[in-house]
Amino acid sequence: RVLSGTNTEGQPPLVGQPPSEGQSYFGSRPLFDKSQCYEFATGKLANVLGPDFAQSDSYKSRVRLPDAPLMLVDRIMSMTGVAHSLQPGKIVTEHDVLVDGWYLDNGCLPVCISVEAGQADLILSGYLGMDRESKGETVYRLLDAEITFYRHLPRPGEVIHYDIRIIEFFNHSGTWFFRFEYDGTINDTLLITMRNGCAGFFSEQALAAGEGLVTSKIVARQMKGSKGSDWIDFVEMQVEGYTALQLSHLRKGNLGDCFGTQFDQLQLNDPLVLPDGKMNLVHRVTQIIPEGGRFGLGQIIAEADIHQDDWFLTCHFVDDMVMPGTLMYECCLHTLRLYLLRMGWVAEAADVVYQPILGVRSRLKCRGQVLSTTKLVTYEVSIKELGYAPEPYAIVDSLMYADGKPIVLNI
């Protein structure tokens, strides 16, 4: 049995019974299996946590996991904390990287899914009392996170073990927030940490009144970027953009049909380009500006159209459709990849992989939302640092807009 919390007699009460079948990769029986995680996402909370949570199911919305395909919690190993206490707690979960996973990018779990799979702070915040406090009148929104990777991205067959902690709840001017963090490990080797996480619970009126990011001081301040002493320009760059048709050619590996004659004669059979399918997140490039951006090393501006039935809206969440912040993060990474490809950083897919720079912290700030009513999102990526040692790398700042409003900053 897996125990959780502390009762008035000092004994830890049961949160729930483990399923009769199934084990984790590490041999322990889970507290909740995948079918119960889906119940968290789309069913009744009381069916998993018991009748004391039936009231949460009567509200017009509650804290829940995403539905498929973004329900990434394969099992919950333990949950510690006092129900409805708004006190600190902890949840431990696992995610299996599937051999045929829809999300795989050149044989790796992409950055956004590696981060998003640590999503069970949602369950924990509800268990610890946010549903009872908000009564369905407010909804969860991620505000801040700092992400650092420590090893290469997960590969099929690996299992990520997430240790997620809510550090504190606090109320500011009538709005509830919580601070949280997590560690993600694979076979006891650290993969990822998330620190200084902050999420809040906002009314529809508060979200509608939000002005987005205050970016004037950040974006307007010019700074000098840097290139390694061994820097080489592989191809000539110029101001240009690419249509949806050109990007579709690129996704098929036809570099010259997108980037022009400089790329026509490359002897590549299967170049690593942009993801497709559900991960087709960039629809056109409005401008590439060599030596542009606030660091003077280059800038790329791209766009995507938003539709009411987009998969990332309809599954996230079933009673509160909003684009996840982690996917916004991935959109900017794909935009950066376009710039790097245009610089001539092209190779056979079997020989290279896009990876986060190990040990370099990435700070994500979300101050707005992409909804089913949003029409257009814009990604603005500015190159900050480029080099070839120890491997080719780029460090950038990115800014995302929803219908012209700045909503996400990554620095």
Q: What is the CB neighbour count within 10 angstroms for residue 144?
A: 17
Q: Which of 152, 283, 307, 316 is catalytic?
A: 316
Range 354-357, long-range pairs (CB < 8 A, 24+ positions): 354/105, 354/106, 354/272, 355/108, 355/149, 355/152, 355/153, 356/111, 356/149, 356/153, 357/149, 357/393, 357/395
CA atoms within 13 A on the CB side of 103: 25
Spatial separation of the C-alpha atoms in residues 281 and 247, rounded to whole Å: 11
Q: Which residue has the tokens 């590439």?
A: 288
283: annotated active-site residue: no
CB 313 within 8 A of CB 321: yes
What is the 3-state secondary structure of 30-61? CCECHHHHHHHHHCCCHHHHCHHHHHHHCCCC
Distance of CA 241 to the CA centre of its chain: 27
Task: Kindly list the catalytic residues.
Answer: 316
